[in-house]
Chains A and B, each alone.
Chain A
């Protein structure tokens, strides 16, 4: 086997083992409550990838996750633990609701304008965490979570007051037909193209530009970065802003690109956990935007398949999040990766 191929396959093998550990723990949790894990997993994977509609639906679930994965991934590349995608996605969704639902624009321009505004809203919400990190050294794990909760109550306030749909208390004003992305099939829309394009753009930014190099240098080797005169503050700011743009896009994708509701529910059920799920997706995808796309398709499949499983076998679909958590823990343990390496070498 060529060295390059081996280098490419190793992270895939490591992620694969972590996924298997996650599924095994999920099976134990099912057994604990008397469910049949084999039946449940068959239903899950059949629901996710067993039919054209299933695949389209899984891709629709993957669309926001691949960009919230970028938020975490681009943070991790600069040695940050940015878990603020959650709140930034809420704020992005509000931006999309305002421009997509209230402002009148011609059909071609409308979705683009709404998406850009939503992305800027997301970046804006990332700014306080970046500023506090740079100026006061406040750890981003705490600051981003606090900002997530402030965003939660602020956005809830807006949905239930100024942006509430008249006569329908359970949701905000939906995106106008001119602001909607075209439906491809099932609930998948062309917004997935925007998501994939964003992932590719961030890949180019990180590995083909000077700014990207500086960002990665600050993350990989802060001493060398200091010696080379690279500004740590600039790298941190860039990382947070790019992440915020991604999270804002994730929020927008649920408003402008997700039938049948095209709107934000008052409970925010359709954007909640996009950010946290993105952390797992980023780690499975090895904090690489392209790896994140593949991981998002896998995880989108779990999410859609989870609902199918709940309907057919009765296992609560939230189990999928628990599996995601175990996968993350497994990926944190270098010993597991070391075992794979040793087996390959022997």
Chain B
């Protein structure tokens, strides 16, 4: 192993091209991963922040908040279902927002206003007073500050920002959280086609600790199937495009890892062929096949770690360079770590292609070839 590391130090140029290729592949893995995390993060924050375990839609809504309507009667049935500890109404509307002091600007902030009763993580237990909202902290990057007034929609419905909450974006837009009354008023003024009367779009449900699946089934049974109740995790997967995006990107990442594996296999197979005579001599002086193979693996791991390290730096640099509102790229520590892990797995698995060749080397014939 020492010999392998010494070769890396003494002849780095031999490994330079492979390192560059693996760096590009590492960067690709991290970019693809950061892209899907960014896309999903900006689409699902409002759901991930929910402290409730379940969400109930109307059956014809196909798990779409905009199309779902829950009447007070259905809500009463949900509240009386055994296993239900608390129920809160939820509503949303997506509107452009203007700063209060620029009512005529054409440069709008894309926002989603939520009306809530059961507070998601980071929000006050009692919803803000009518006409006031808690804003997602992503809006700080757009210059929104506490105490600012935002004018929502074509009717410029004013709402005052009274605080901020992290990581609650929805459908790629920054969220605003207010009371159901605030939401109803804004919808009625700006989107008469989506007006809701005394209904809410969905109910978020906290259970009393009974199994969530059982409570979900009980709710749907109690309402006579006038609700479709999902766990929050299932509701996130049901958001438009989430499952498809995740599956497609995971497949692309999988094939990219496979390419990394083939590159490592190719490179070290060729290096092994080149070193056949050298390995023969080392075997003749007592080195075992396992020792020699460990050297190959060590080199592959070191090269991959360097590539992954540069890849991490590149991904972070890219993240810093992308302007807010540009590509939804979010290189989370977990994603970067998993990408490094995948690179190492590919490196070790790729080396396995050289194992048989290393073990098969016959010292006598190898020395003969060398001489």
A binds B: no
* B residues lining the A interface (CB < 8 Å): none
* A residues lining the B interface (CB < 8 Å): none
